[in-house]
């Protein structure tokens, strides 16, 4: 089986080490994901994707093979994955010329995959 190759994604300097999935909002092509840390519940990391083509949230038990991938980390990305290839094939090449990136966020219980173009806005917010 082909293994996806990811690189670290560091959109801001102070990323959480062990985040948990708090909320997800999807409307009009934007996807907002809120992550929190167990030891600091008063703030959340807000990640806003624009131009979202697709996403999935899967419990880590459903991604055991993916968890064995040595290039997978808490925050990573790639421009060459099976999920991204599948989106391009399923769309009959409509997105072939788009600058799409497969972003992956691994948290305490889930793996979140997002196919989106730039920009991605990441910031901490108080709750």
- The mean pLDDT of 8-27, rounded to a whole number, is 95
Chain-wide mean pLDDT for the chain? 94
The CA angle 62-68-72, to the nearest 5 degrees, is 95
Q: In this predicted model, what pLDDT tens digit does every residue of 78-106 receive, in sequence order? A: 999 999 999 999 999 899 899 999 999 99
Question: Domain residues of the chain, as ranges?
Answer: 7-126
13, 17, 21, 27: CA torsion to nearest 10: 20
- Position 82 scores a pLDDT of 95
């Amino acid at each position: 089986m082909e293994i996806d190759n990811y690189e670290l994604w560091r959109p801001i300097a102070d990323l959480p080490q062990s985040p948990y999935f708090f909320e997800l909002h999807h409307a009009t092509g934007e996807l907002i994901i809120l992550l929190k840390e167990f030891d600091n519940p008063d703030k959340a990391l807000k990640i806003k994707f624009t131009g979202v083509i697709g996403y999935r949230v899967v419990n880590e038990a459903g991604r055991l093979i993916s968890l064995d991938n040595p290039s997978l980390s808490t925050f990573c990305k790639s421009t060459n994955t099976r999920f991204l290839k599948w989106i391009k094939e399923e769309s009959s090449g409509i997105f072939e010329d788009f600058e799409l990136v497969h972003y992956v966020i691994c948290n305490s219980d889930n793996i979140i995959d997002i196919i989106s173009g730039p920009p991605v806005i990441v910031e901490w917010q108080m709750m």
